[in-house]
Structure formats: structure tokens, C-alpha cells
Amino acid sequence: MADDDRPRAPAAAEDEDPAGLGALRDNVLTRAAWRRHAVWFVAALFSGAGALLFNYADTYGGGLVNAAHALSPWIPFAMVSLGMPLLCWLRDRLFPGTEGTGIPQAIAALKIGPSPARAYVLSMRVAFGKMLLLVLALCLGPTIGREGPSVHVGACFMYLAHRFAAFPRHLVDRGLILAGGAAGIAAAFNAPIAGMVFAFEEIGRSFEKSNVGTIVRTAIVACLISIVALGDYLFYGRIDAALRTAEAWVAVPVIGVVGGLLGGAFSQALIWIGPRYARLYKARPLLASLGIGVGLGVLGLASAGMSYGSGYDEAKQILMHDAPAPWWFLPTHAAASFLTLMSGIPGGLFDPALTSGAALGQLLAPWFTSLDRQHTVLLFMGSFFCGVVQSPLTTTVILVEMTAARFFTLPLVSVAIIAYQASRLVCPVALYEALADSFLARMRAVR
């Protein structure tokens, strides 16, 4: 029986146990408690290991696509053109429920509530399928990130833990799913605080005190998996940034508005076009998926291969090393990310959105003479990313953790809040929320 289901002692009895010895016994000193902690720990390890697998697959897949492009630009063109129909066929026939970035699916699982329908969203089959399809996709060249699937896989592993031990009802209802989502973000970027904040701000959309301890512990354990394998690294690298003049601060609201409007327009276009593409795909699945693949291949040819993959390397070069990127990198990369997300294959948007923000910052940096170029790029990364996901606190924390730019926290939170407000002018419903609702509608239609 779950902890919350046990009859509670009357108030007088509670007064007789001021030291909380009963709670100590139930949570530490019983066999059931140790079993529960052991199962939670193993699930947290698996959540971190899933994100680590995606990290390795991203590195290997990017190298594979680059090597193929070095031999001939037409090889990755063929890989992505033919790979998209294959990925869509595998998703539909073998692994239904794995579609999308994974974050909307975690949100949908919370909205469903404790019911058999959750097994469609959070199951071992879905977790395995998500891992297999994303690893395959990362080797074929679509413009995808890995944090969304990391969230989905983490939520699956953590939620399934309740089958092997008795957890309190509040954890089974929401806490384990939120903890898995936090673990996915935390381990994907070595950003534990960002993972925790994202779980409350975007996935759960509320602060849940009863679940916070489990969420924090799970994010820490998942991060430790990455640290053991990769070292305690910064995702982009260390930046010593600060805005020290009033003239520099004047640029912040401008960058927030520009990046927020563009990011919001990206999300609103995806929300509007997505259902229309879904209807086309339902009628002509091979033709629709092949069209997406050929479109990605054409963008790869037009960008000399730069539009393939997550764009992490390009963003890091722009932000940390002032490496020049051609003007057409921004539109080709953003268009490729849009097409990939529209296709519904497993894959995230954090990395591609941050890369588009970096390219936007480099392109517009000459207009902001009061700012250092690196500062401009970092602020545009925050504004465009927040415009897309509409999560200002996560945006701020994740960029600070990625760069250790703690003296840049105030400019980042300022630009994120402004971008959030600007984004809502063109995209009133947050992207993940809209995608979760769309996913739930398709579930009801299928079931």
C-alpha cells in the first residue's frame, strides 16, 4: 500500500511523536523503504544513462554525417532523404507513442493522470523506441537535438519504477514523471538546476513542494552519470561576461523584442502548419516523409552541410571563438529545424534553437556597437530560445550553467522576460503546451 493510503494517526498521537520517529521508520528503517530507495536510484541511473547515450550518439552521428559530406555532398543528401521515410515508418509501425520531441509527451502524461492510457506514453517499449529512433536519426542528418527525448526517456524510467516498489501517491501521480524530466535536461546539458527549474516551469507548470526532494535527488544522480563519463564540463565553455555601462543595457530590451518575436513566430508557424502536415501525412505517408527528407537534403546542399545535425559545434564556434558563419546559415538551419520538428520524428529543439539564436546574434552584432560581440550572441541565444519555448527562468538558468556566466544572470533574465512577453504577442499558446494538446487529441482519436 502506498504511503499516502495508510490511515493517519489522530492529532494527539502525532503530538506524542514530536521527533517524527514514525516517519523515520517508514522512510528509512523498513524493508519496503529500502526497496523503494533502491528502485528509485536504479531508475535515476537509467535516466542519466539514456541522456549519456544520446550525447555519444550525437557526437558519433555528427562525425559520420560530416565524413560522408567530405566524400560527396550527395551522400548525406541521400541519407537524410531516404532516412526520413524509414524513421517515420519505424515510428508508426513499431513504436507508436514515440513521436515528437518528448517534452509534450511528458506534459500529456501528467494531464492524462493515473490511468491505463499512461502506458501508451510512458512504457518500456516507448523508452526503447525513443532511444533507438533518436540514435538512428542522429546518424542520418536531420536537424534535431537530444534533450526532448532525454526528458521522455527519463520520465518513462522514473514512472515505471512504481511497478517495482510502493511509492507515495503524490510521486506516482506526478512526482516521478517530473523527476525523470528534470533528470533528462540536467544530464543532457550538465545543468542540474536548469533541469529542476524546467520540471516545475514547463513540464509541471507549478511548484510542488511534496515532490521537490525526489526531483532534486534524481537530477543530481542523473548528472553524476554524465560527470563520471565526461567529466564536470561546461556545455559551451566559460564566459566572463558583464554589462557595465548604461549604453550596453539599452540594447537588452531591443534584443529581447527582436529575438522573442522571431522565436514566437517560429513556434506559431509550427503550431499552425503542424496539423496540416499531419493530415497530409495521414493521407500520403511515404510522399510526405520523403518530401521532408528531400527538403532537408536540399537545405544541406545549399548550406554546404552546415544545416545537418543539432548545430552544437557551429553555435560553440560562434559563441566561444568568434568563428564567422555565412549569412545563409541562419535561414537554412532554422528551416531545417522547422521541417524536422514538423515531421514528428523523435528529436529535440533546444540545441537547434540555441544555434539559431547564436547565428542571429552574429548576424546582427554589427548593429549593437555598445555590446561586446560575445555578449550580443549570448543575449540573442537567450531571447530567441525563450521566444520559442516561452520558459524565461529555464532560459536564464540553463545559459548560466552552460557558460558559468554568473555575472551575466541579470542581463539574461531581463532579455528572457522581455522575449517571453514579445513571443506571446505572436504565439499566445506556448509551443510545448500546444503540442501536448495535439498529442492528446491524436491519442483519443486512435484509442
Whether residues 177 and 86 share a domain: the answer is: yes
d(CA 440, CA 433): 11
In a domain, 340, yes or no: yes
d(CA 313, CA 315): 5
Q: Which of 230, 261, 280 is the last residue of a domain?
A: 230
Whether residues 255 and 389 share a domain: the answer is: yes
Cα 15 to Cα 4, 21, 24, 137: the distances in Å are 19, 12, 15, 59
Give the pLDDT mean for 74-83: 97
Share of the chain above pLDDT 70, in %: 93
Whether residues 216 and 252 share a domain: the answer is: no
Q: Is the pLDDT of residue 308 over 50?
A: yes
Cα 425 to Cα 48, 300, 357, 391, 438: the distances in Å are 37, 32, 19, 15, 21
pLDDT for 13: 42
d(CA 51, CA 148): 10
Q: Assess contact for 80 and 295: CB atoms under 8 A.
A: no
Record the cell numbers describing residue 126, joined without a space: 516507448
Whether residues 145 and 210 share a domain: the answer is: yes
Q: Which of 170, 204, 230 is the last residue of a domain?
A: 230
In a domain, 95, yes or no: yes
pLDDT for 3: 45
Bridge partner list, 348: 145
Read off the pLDDT band of 19 (50, 70, 90). very low
d(CA 68, CA 190): 30
Record the cell numbers describing residue 377, joined without a space: 550572441
Domain count, the chain: 2
pLDDT for 27: 64
Give the pLDDT mean for 183-210: 90
Whether residues 342 and 407 share a domain: the answer is: yes
d(CA 147, CA 162): 24
In a domain, 1, yes or no: no
In a domain, 106, yes or no: yes
pLDDT for 5: 45
d(CA 391, CA 384): 11
Which residues, 6 or more positions from 98, have their beta carbon under 8 angstroms from its beta carbon? 91, 126, 129, 130, 133, 152, 346
In a domain, 21, yes or no: no
Which residues, 6 or more positions from 405, have their beta carbon under 8 angstroms from its beta carbon? 238, 239, 240, 241, 378, 399, 412
Lowest mean pLDDT of 1-10, 150-159, 163-172, 335-344, name the range: 1-10
Whose cell is 513521436? That residue is 99
Whose cell is 559551451? That residue is 236
Record the cell numbers describing residue 267, joined without a space: 513556434
pLDDT for 46: 96
pLDDT for 114: 81
pLDDT for 18: 47
Give the pLDDT mean for 15-19: 47
Nearest alpha-carbon partner for 43 in 147, 179, 148: 179
Whose cell is 523515520? That residue is 24
Whether residues 224 and 273 share a domain: the answer is: no
Which residues, 6 or more positions from 191, have their beta carbon under 8 angstroms from its beta carbon? 185, 235, 397, 398, 401, 402
Q: Assess contact for 102 and 188: CB atoms under 8 A.
A: no
Give the pLDDT mean for 160-184: 93
pTM above 0.85, yes or no: yes
Whether residues 47 and 156 share a domain: the answer is: yes
pLDDT for 117: 83
pLDDT, tens digit (0-9, with 9 covering 90-100), for 388-419: 999 999 999 999 999 999 999 999 999 999 99
Give the pLDDT mean for 109-128: 88
Lowest mean pLDDT of 23-37, 69-83, 108-122, 227-241, name the range: 23-37
Lowest mean pLDDT of 8-12, 76-80, 152-156, 226-230, name the range: 8-12
d(CA 301, CA 64): 16
pLDDT, tens digit (0-9, with 9 covering 90-100), for 351-388: 999 999 999 999 999 999 999 999 999 999 999 999 99
Q: What is the CATH number of the domain that holds 392?
A: 1.10.3080.10
Nearest alpha-carbon partner for 160 in 35, 39, 3, 27: 39
Cα 90 to Cα 96, 158, 271, 296: the distances in Å are 9, 25, 24, 19
Cα 351 to Cα 115, 202, 398: the distances in Å are 33, 17, 12
In a domain, 276, yes or no: yes
pLDDT for 6: 44
Give the pLDDT mean for 252-276: 97
pLDDT, tens digit (0-9, with 9 covering 90-100), for 315-327: 999 999 988 889 9
pLDDT for 441: 84
> Helix or strand or coil: residue 337?
helix
pLDDT for 29: 62
Half-sphere exposure of 8 (CA within 13 A, CB side): 6
Whether residues 63 and 123 share a domain: the answer is: yes
The DSSP call for residue 239 is -
Whether residues 182 and 274 share a domain: the answer is: no
- Average pLDDT, rounded, for the chain: 91
Whether residues 38 and 140 share a domain: the answer is: yes
Bridge partner list, 145: 348
Whether residues 223 and 324 share a domain: the answer is: no
Whether residues 197 and 93 share a domain: the answer is: yes
Q: Is the pLDDT of residue 108 over 50?
A: yes
pLDDT for 38: 94
User: What is the domain range of residue 129?
Assistant: 28-230
Q: Which of 230, 257, 290 is the last residue of a domain?
A: 230
Which residues, 6 or more positions from 30, have their beta carbon under 8 angstroms from its beta carbon? none
pLDDT, tens digit (0-9, with 9 covering 90-100), for 414-430: 999 999 999 999 999 99
pLDDT for 95: 93
Record the cell numbers describing residue 153, joined without a space: 526517456
Share of the chain above pLDDT 90, in %: 79
pLDDT for 334: 97
In a domain, 380, yes or no: yes
d(CA 274, CA 91): 17
Q: Is the pLDDT of residue 224 over 70?
A: yes
d(CA 239, CA 237): 7
In a domain, 84, yes or no: yes
Read off the pLDDT band of 299 (50, 70, 90). very high
